[in-house]
Chain A
């Protein structure tokens, strides 16, 4: 096998007159999620310098998960951006989750996913952000599916250059091979206690390559 590879390599080199090098991708840094079970299934957390997709239906715990990520990043002193396509970001919930709001730049796109895409591109290219959240959770699948793969690739490439962790929240996977990590949120289990909803038991599932591992966490009031 090794001989065949070397032979093939020498043939290509002789034909194109270019020295071939095997480029090694450096190990990516991780952004710990703050949820041990989730860190375990994602090999240490959300990878930096690439795109991660968190997808799932409504009320599956996507926002709670992202608020935890935001909390961990902002409490470490990193600046974060939340590009909110639908305009549903709730500062009170974020503060309740422990997010340092002073370090969050919120872009309310008022339901325009095109604006959200452009804003994400601009902000991630500006650099200096530790975490950039591209929130398309409330945008219908029919619309998000129309985002071309080239745009996702561009976002991923920008995240790679700037070293930011780019996380997209959607209803289903759209970036496909452009995302390094895909977390699919299975239907959550509500816990009713007292006068109102008490908690939500969420089940994120890591879809990284061929492996698929599930964790769980409880988001309480």
Chain B
């Protein structure tokens, strides 16, 4: 059973009224709304009582029709004034008097029917379907079914746009972060509750703070995995705002979450436990707050021969490292033995080197120094000669490397920059 409300120029009012009866509502611009009324008889009694209840609630003059299918209800509401209730199976008879223009067929079909002298639903419904199909095609058949009240389509319900955004204007400007946290907590709770209601999570939260006499302060929180824990978000936002506080008092807070499907939590039975993403993200945010943003992450080697070429991925769980598929057999190209490891000084430490017969024999620097008991080298490396610049990470490099052992037993890799003829300690072997 479907109910249709029709009132020219009052679509928002009709929508609001329909929402009071059912969540499944179809909007038919410019002036009609259909909703699913199945099951409402338990609340409002038979169809006539329901129609009167709708009439009472709507508060404006409107045509109300109740029928067994959406199209019949729509045509009845558009064609008859007041309340129309069409019992199931009597649609053709009830709609017979309606003019054909309510079917909204193509102009060619409408003109043809007019020339045939067909003016009402009843006249059209009486024509033989085979003849209609032969002369008017598929459209003609479809329109004839509608004219007979043989609607067969489902309701096309309105879907709320998935906007997860909350905002709050503050009575007084807020200068400190602690009172702002209460506002953020409230907004986050609301946004996360809505995400939960739609079985969604988010991997990006945008916070826009409207400031007093200053441009809008934007903070973006990007997460490696979808999450929906408001407490974790709040902690991360607090840490972020502590690191980059708004420069002026806050007048308005707007928070927006990008919806995304939540991650599956089921892991393999024999997969080693991984850090809980929510907890890990909060912990990493705390550590970043402590040591600095660019100092925490997962290292990734760069595709370059440049010494010490790597980048830092923001998070441990980014890039699907948590998939059980990654737990493959050990790489065959990795030797199972122990490899010589370097502890790399950043930046390389400048050192004075005494050279006799082309061999370094003594190192002298503020932190490291002594007689060299063994030196092996040089091992010349160079690269990226096309890049200009005297120094820096992106400049070309051209150097001779030496491995040296000091009297103390310490082993270092030192190198001479051939351009500047300066010596550096790159690191110690350990």
Write the residues of chain A forming the contact surface with B, with a CB cutoff of 8 angstroms. 34-35, 57-65, 67-68, 71, 75-79, 86-98, 101-110, 112, 115, 118-119, 122-123, 125-130, 137-138, 187-188, 190, 192, 194-197, 199-200, 202, 217-221
Write the residues of chain B forming the contact surface with A, with a CB cutoff of 8 angstroms. 271-276, 279-280, 282-284, 286-287, 290-292, 295-301, 308-310, 312, 316, 319, 321, 324, 326-327, 330-331, 334-346, 374, 376-379, 401, 403, 405, 408-411, 427-430
Check B429–A91 contact: CB distance below 8 A: no
Check A58–B410 contact: CB distance below 8 A: yes
In the complex, what's the smallest C-beta–C-beta distance from B309 to chain A, in angstroms?
Answer: 8
B interface secondary structure, majority: mixed
Q: Enumerate chain B residues within 8 angstroms of A110, measured Cβ to Cβ.
A: 291-292, 295
Partner among B275, B282, B342, B376 whose Cβ is within 8 Å of the Cβ of A93: B342
A66 to B285, CA, bound (A): 26
Check B403–A63 contact: CB distance below 8 A: no
Whether A97 touches B338, Cβ cut-off 8 Å, given contacts A92-B310, A110-B292, A196-B377, is yes
Q: Enumerate chain A residues within 8 angstroms of B341, measured Cβ to Cβ.
A: 63-64, 67, 90, 93-94, 97, 219
In the complex, what's the smallest C-beta–C-beta distance from A83 to chain B, in angstroms?
Answer: 9
Check A195–B377 contact: CB distance below 8 A: yes
In the complex, what's the smallest C-beta–C-beta distance from B321 to chain A, in angstroms?
Answer: 4
In the complex, what's the smallest C-beta–C-beta distance from B405 to chain A, in angstroms?
Answer: 6
Please list 28 pairs of residues, one from A and one from B, whose beta carbons are closer than 8 Å in the complex, sorted by A's number. Answer: A57-B409, A58-B411, A59-B428, A63-B341, A63-B342, A64-B338, A77-B272, A77-B326, A91-B299, A92-B309, A96-B339, A97-B341, A103-B321, A106-B298, A106-B312, A107-B296, A112-B291, A122-B283, A128-B274, A129-B275, A137-B430, A192-B374, A195-B377, A196-B377, A197-B340, A217-B338, A218-B337, A220-B340
Check A107–B298 contact: CB distance below 8 A: no
Whether A137 touches B343, Cβ cut-off 8 Å, given contacts A34-B336, A105-B297, A192-B376, is yes
Q: Enumerate chain A residues within 8 angstroms of B343, measured Cβ to Cβ.
A: 63, 86, 88-90, 137-138
A195 to B342, CA, bound (A): 17
In the complex, what's the smallest C-beta–C-beta distance from A160 to chain B, in angstroms?
Answer: 16
Partner among B283, B296, B309 whose Cβ is within 8 Å of the Cβ of A108: B296
In the complex, what's the smallest C-beta–C-beta distance from A103 to chain B, in angstroms?
Answer: 6
Check B276–A58 contact: CB distance below 8 A: no
B275, B286, B299, B341: residue with the most chain A Cβ atoms closer than 10 Å: B341
Partner among A101, A138, A187, A219 whose Cβ is within 8 Å of the Cβ of B298: A101
A145 to B405, CA, bound (A): 28
Q: Enumerate chain B residues within 8 angstroms of A127, measured Cβ to Cβ.
A: 275-276, 279
Check B427–A90 contact: CB distance below 8 A: yes
Check B330–A75 contact: CB distance below 8 A: yes
Given A98-B339, A115-B291, A221-B340, 11 more pairs with CB closer than 8 A: A67-B338, A68-B338, A90-B343, A93-B340, A93-B341, A102-B326, A105-B298, A105-B316, A106-B299, A107-B287, A107-B291
**Which chain A residue has the least Cβ–Cβ distance from B368?**
A58
**Which chain B residue has the least Cβ–Cβ distance from A185?**
B430
Q: Enumerate chain B residues within 8 angstroms of A79, measured Cβ to Cβ.
A: 272, 274-275, 316
Q: Enumerate chain A residues within 8 angstroms of B374, measured Cβ to Cβ.
A: 190, 192
A118 to B286, CA, bound (A): 10
**Which chain B residue has the least Cβ–Cβ distance from A34?**
B336
